[in-house]
Amino acid sequence: MVPLKRRKVSASDSAGKTGNNPGEKTPTRFPGVVLFLLEKKMGASRRAFLSQLGLKKGFQVEDVFSERVTHIVSENNSGHEVRTWLNSQDVGRAATAAAARLLDVSWYTESMRAGRPVDVLDRHKLQEQQADEADVVSFSLPSYACQRRTTLDNHNAAITDALSLLAENAELSEDDGRGVAFRRAAAVLKALPAAVTSTRQLRGLPGLGEHSLRVIGDILENGASTEVESTRRSERYKALKILTGIFGVGAKTADRWIRDGIHDLQRLRESGQTLNRAQQAGLDHYDDLHQPVTRAEADAIGEIVQRAVTSASPGARITMTGGFRRGKPTGHDVDFLITDPEEGNEEGLMPKVVSWLESQGFLLYQKTSRNSYLESNEGPGRPSSNMDRFERCLSIFKLTRKEHRAGADGPEPGPGSQAENPPTRRWRAVRVDLVVSPVSQFAFALLGWTGSKLFERELRRWAGHEKAMSLSSHALYDNKQSRYLRASSEEEIFHLLGLEFVAPSERNA
């Protein structure tokens, strides 16, 4: 079959076409008007639609920005934002010198309706006057998160969620330094009293590195960060999230499984991998453990734990710690700190508590470790860490759903069974951590186990860098005086560190 010969295109033909759609002949009716639609905030699909509309009406609409452009049309941008974008382009200075008109999209849509370029009125012009520095409301914050009061009210949730996702991805990739950097940046944004509208407001704030500022700027300008969205869609990130979401599985194990081709729970179950007791329990109860724990459920567990503790030592008491103590309405687990007002009575308490809980059928899994903390006359033998050495029990709790009538739903499924109708099951699995502290260390343990994780990290950093002290969940050691500093309350610890007391509800860094 003989191919058709391509028709030669004359100069007059090509003059009537634009770079947008070279296959369609669109005569230019307004040669003195060359338009460019700015994609920023407008979006690619809307820009494409408006561009095609303009071409059909006989306007010159450039797909690529150049010095020829006489009218720049944008949506939801100020004149300053458009000029800033222009100056980032190779031809930005030339375009600025040519005084291209910066117009709101309303001028463009009115011109489309009229079938010609309408007169440019004041309401069509973008405000180009840059705000004076004095008009920009800048924020100011102390350097350490433990000096700041961070409630659950977050005025910058879209930004902090994005930074937290990048931090989590770094931590799952075992890049702890980068993870901490993103966490500190997110903590700064959480502590701000109002929403950020410009990165200029963040000048001079602590903890905001170049990378974090770039992500923040991207979100403020475009509504989302390309890096964050790319990470969120990454197959590796999604696999790491699923696998490390199994109780007892860390980043190293998950990475090894991924390299073996395991990316989800089904493949893990089919792989024949040998799992330890914790991992098997985590896999069996995966769905339950990924359901948020409510405050009511946490309180119900607290009542059971208190009964167990009282049966072992009538004078002992429990305190709920973690996010619930900071005022969070839900959590991923429940933490309890156990102590006895009589020093030494806490010894041997944990085995009795665990034995009672097991005898009553409340524990689906438990692993207990002994107290390995020894106070040295020479002070702490290692750098401060968020890992303490208290006696503890890491468990998966079987919580009965009281709202179901006994026997109304037929036989109760066994632990780990895959019931066809899960809502009819009369119990759920919940992660519960029990920690026993001597009363002499209780204030430090309470402070350490309340969190947040970053707040505690910053407390230890403040103690070391600003006070030459070593803080842990066991004690506070003054390196200058070479002695331990005792405290019976959190308020005393803050005072010893030279800090204003921060209530638990304000430690949500």
Q: Which residues lie below 8 Å from residue 86, measured CB to CB, with a gap of 6+?
A: 72, 92, 95, 96
Q: Which of 104, 333, 340, 388 is flagged as catalytic?
A: 333
Q: Which residues pair with 257 in a beta bridge?
A: none
DSSP string for 40-87:
TTT-HHHHHHHHHHHHHTT-EEESS--TT--EEEESS--HHHHHHHHH
> Please, what is the Cα angle at 255 between 253 and 256, to 5 degrees?
65
Question: What's the rounded Cα separation, in Å, for the pair 240 and 263?
Answer: 8
For residue 51, the one-letter residue type is S
CA–centroid distance for 316 within its chain: 37
| Strand 34-37 to 60-62 pairing | parallel
Contacts of 47 (CB under 8 A, 6+ apart): 37, 38, 39
Q: Give residue for tokens 């849509």.
A: 109
For the chain, the distance separating the N- and C-terminal CA atoms, rounded to the nearest angstrom, is 73
Q: Is 161 a catalytic residue?
A: no
Q: From the candidates 335, 340, 388, 409, give the one annotated as an active-site residue.
A: 335
* CA proximity to 448, closest of 466, 430, 475: 475
Distance CA 19, CA 64 (A): 8
The one catalytic residue among 63, 409, 433, 478: 433
299 is catalytic: no
Distances (CA, A) of 64 to 27, 47, 55, 88, 426: 19, 12, 14, 14, 63
Strand 483-485 with 476-478, pairing: antiparallel
Active site residue 433: yes
Is 18:55 a contact under the CB 8 Å cutoff?
Answer: yes
Show the tokens assigned to 40: 């920023």
- Residues classed as catalytic: 333, 335, 433
